[in-house]
Amino acid sequence: MAEPRAYEDAWVQALAILALISGIYTVRSYAAGVYTSPPAVPAPAPPAAPLPAPVRPAVRAERDLAALVAQAAAGATVVLPPGRYAGPIELTKYVVLRGGGSSPDDVVISAAGPRTITVSGVSAMLINLTVENEGGAGGAAVYASGGTVATRQVTIRSSGTGVWAVGSNLQLVSAEISGRVGVLIEAGARGSIQLTSVTGREAAVTATGSDVNVAIERGRLESPEGTGLAVSRFARVRLSRSTVSGSRSSGVLALTGAEVSVSGSELRDNQGCGVRLGDAQVKLDNVLLQRNQCGVGFVGAGMLTVDNSRFLELSMGAIAVKPGLAGKITVKGKDNYGLSIPEPTQ
C-alpha cells in the first residue's frame, strides 16, 4: 500500500503533465490557424481629455484701441490681433498700425461718427487692415490734417469719403478705397496714389485748390454715378499707367484752372466723354480713348495737347465742342489715330 505522501506527489506530477499538454495544444492550435480563446488582454485606457485651446482676449473696445496707441512710443508699430475695433481714434504721434491677420479683412477698425481715424499733423502708416466709416455723407474713414498718411495693403470703406486729405501728404499704396467720394484732396495736399483701386459713387478721386499736386500711378478709378477723376481750382494731377472706366459721367473732368496730365493710360467705357474740359489745360500722351460718348468734350475755354493717342468707338466723335466756344479752345498735337488736327496757319 502506497504512502499518502506518494499519492500526493503522483497527483501533482499528473496535473503538471496535463498543464504542459494543454499549453502545447494551445500553441499548436494557433499555429494551425484554429481559433481558441486568446488570453485576456486588458482594455486600453480611455484617451485623455484634450487640453482646452488657449483663449486670447479680443481687443475690441474703443478704450482698448486707444490704450494700445497711447501706450506705444513714437515711431512704434502697434500690431492688432484679428478682430473688430471700435473707433474713432486720433493719432497725434507717429505710429504704424499693422493688422496681425492674414488679410486686411481680419482686422477692422470702424466708427459710426464723423471720422474713424484722424491724423493730426503727424505721420502715420496703416498696414494690412480695414477702416470703415458709417458717418454719412460728411463722414470720412481716414481724415488727415497736415502730416503724412501712408498705406500698404489696406481696405477703406465709407458712406461718405474714404480718404480726406487737407494740407497733408498722401502715400497711398496697394489700397482698395470706396465711398461717396473715394479720395478727396484739397487745401494744398500733395502726394501719390499707386497700385490702388478707387471707387466713388459721385467721384473716385477729387482734387481741388491751388497747391494741390498729386500723382496717380497704376491705379483704377471708377464712379458709377459720377466722374472718375475730378480736378478743379488750379489743382494739378498726373495720371499714368492707369484705367478710368465705368463712370456715369466723364472719365476725367478738368475745370477752373486745373492742369491734368494723362499718359500711358486708358479712358474707356464711360457714359460721358473720356475727358471733359473747361477753362483748364489737359495733356494726353499715349492714351486710349474708347467706347465713350466722345473723346474730349469742351464745356468751356481750354487747351488740349494730345500726342500718340487713339480715339476709337466714340459715338459723338473724337472732339465735341459746346456751342459758342468757337475760337476759345486750342487743340494741338501729333501722331494720333482717329483724330485729325489741322496744321496751324502761318
Q: What is the pLDDT of residues 110-165, one digit of tens each?
A: 999 899 999 999 999 999 999 999 999 899 999 999 999 999 999 999 999 999 99
**Do the domain assignments include residue 29?**
no
Structure confidence at residue 346 (pLDDT): 43
Residue 138 lies in a domain: yes
Compute, in degrees rounded to 10, the torsion defined by CA atoms 92, 152, 61, 57.
Answer: -130
> What is the domain-level CATH number for residue 152?
2.160.20.10
Residue stretches of the chain with pLDDT short of 50 = 1-8, 10-12, 14-39, 41, 48-49, 51, 53-63, 345-346
Asked if the structure places residue 170 within a domain, the reply is yes
Asked if the structure places residue 317 within a domain, the reply is yes
Expressed as residue numbers, the domain containing 247 is 62-334
State residue 342's pLDDT score: 65
pTM, to two decimals: 0.81
Give me the number of domains the chain comprises. 1
Question: Amino acid identity, residue 15?
Answer: L
On whether residue 327 sits in a domain, the answer given is yes
CA distances (Å), origin 246, targets 48, 212, 274: 61, 26, 11
Determine the Cα–Cα distance for residues 242 and 267; give it in Å rounded to an integer. 9
Q: Is residue 268 part of a domain?
A: yes
* Domain presence at residue 22: no
Q: What pLDDT score does 343 carry?
A: 61
Please indicate, yes or no, if residue 99 is contained in any of the structural domains. yes
Torsion of CA 305, 296, 165, 132, to 10 degrees: -140
